Amino acid sequence: MSNIRLGDEAPNFTAQSSEGEINFHEWLGDSWGILFSHPADYTPVCTTELGTAANYKAEFDKRNVKVVALSVDGVESHKGWIKDINETQNTTVNFPIIADEDRKVSELYGMIHPNADDKLTVRSVFLIGPDKKVKLTITYPASTGRNFDELLRVIDSLQLTAYHKVATPANWKAGEECVIVPAVTNEQADELFPKGYKEVKPYLRLTPQPNLN
């Protein structure tokens, strides 16, 4: 079973999906990506999740993020399930669902946890950057639906901290103060953060979010 860690390159694969064949890295292109797995089609929690993901498309688009789901069922099953998702969640599924009947992708990404179920995938999320490196992994139990607001929050943090020498504190949301990373000296901070900063402790310096006007 693969053990993918943060910073690893997301394994590439070619697979059939509800929108045709996908070569994962080519499909991602220069975008960020979210790959999330589901134990099987026609499962209740996952039905709500796929509907929510579809309803968040505008938010993902704003952040240059592509979404792709995966289930161990086949394409025809996916297409029937999509009709149910559209009907029950009042949406239109607007992203591909990978058909992983041979569990090739599930094994590549370590989505099968034998102590949970030796056949079905656990409900994993992989957030992947434009450099094809894994930036976030989360695995949820089958009984708990994913929090898509949290995924947006993490994307906002990762995209901010990729370009500015800051980190984001606990419960941070876009627009709130950030933490200046310890490697930046006060002299550098004066130049890098023209909005100023407050020093709570020498290692804890807060500054307004630098990429906002």
Strands 204-207 and 123-128 turn out to be unpaired
User: Tens digit of pLDDT for each residue in 19-32?
Assistant: 999 999 999 999 99
SS3 assignment, position 163: helix
What domains can be seen in the chain, in order of their start residue? 14-146 (3.40.30.10), 164-207 (3.30.1020.10)
CA-wise closest residue to 8 among 140, 128, 151, 188:
128
The yes-or-no verdict on residue 72 having pLDDT over 90 is no
Give Cβ neighbours of residue 10 (< 8 Å, ≥ 6 apart).
4, 24, 25, 33, 35, 126, 128, 132, 133, 134
Q: Which helix (H) or strand (E) holds 156?
A: helix 148-163
Overall average pLDDT of the 30-46 stretch: 90
* Residue 79 scores a pLDDT above 50: yes
Above 80 in pLDDT, residue 114? no
Between 205 and 101, whose confidence is greater?
Answer: 205
Catalytically annotated residues:
46
Residue 71 backbone dihedrals phi, psi, to 5 degrees: -145, 155
